[in-house]
């Protein structure tokens, strides 16, 4: 599957999953994060697929809406990426991004 096909399927998945989400965590929030990530990625040496998947999937199951359970989002994202036959190292990298992207999780300096 091409990079663009993966992103198209991910956009569709995220829109479906977040169709009833409140304004701060809806599709348009994800869209802004995604486009901002792409702008930053242009100036950095990054794996663009990891950047895009991390941005698109970062709030797929935000712990604030799951009784503080921070394992649901990375698990749901991982299961989705497995269905697309994405390489395991990319899945693990994206899950790491999801686990550490929030202000709560992102307080420690890390290298991705």
Q: Give the sign of the dihedral formed by CA 14, CA 16, CA 22, CA 26.
A: positive
Task: Give residues with Cβ within 8 angstroms of 41, minimum separation 6.
Answer: 48, 51
pLDDT tens for the chain, 112 residues: list them: 999 999 999 999 999 988 876 666 789 999 999 999 999 999 999 999 999 999 999 988 654 544 555 667 799 999 999 999 999 999 999 999 988 876 554 455 555 5
**Residue 69: predicted pLDDT:** 57
Name the CATH code of domain 3-100 (choices 1.20.58.2030, 3.40.50.1220, 1.10.472.50, 3.90.1150.10): 1.10.472.50
Instruction: Give the position of tokens 């992102």.
Output: 106
Supply the pLDDT for residue 63.
Answer: 44
Torsion of the alpha carbons at 11, 56, 76 and 44, rounded to the nearest 10: 130
Residue 5's pLDDT is 98
Q: Where are the domains of the chain?
A: 3-100
Angle, helices 48-57/88-100, rounded to nearest 10 degrees = 50
């Amino acid at each position: 599957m091409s990079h663009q096909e993966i992103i198209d399927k991910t956009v569709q998945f995220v829109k479906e999953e977040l169709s009833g989400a409140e304004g701060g965590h809806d599709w348009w929030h994800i869209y802004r994060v995604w486009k901002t990530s792409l702008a930053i990625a242009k100036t950095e040496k990054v794996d663009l697929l990891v950047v895009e998947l991390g941005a698109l999937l970062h709030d797929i199951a935000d712990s604030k809406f799951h009784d503080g359970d921070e394992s649901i989002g990375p698990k749901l994202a991982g299961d989705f990426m497995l269905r697309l036959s994405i390489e395991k190292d990319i899945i693990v990298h994206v899950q790491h991004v999801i686990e550490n992207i929030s202000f709560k999780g992102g307080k420690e300096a890390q290298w991705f």
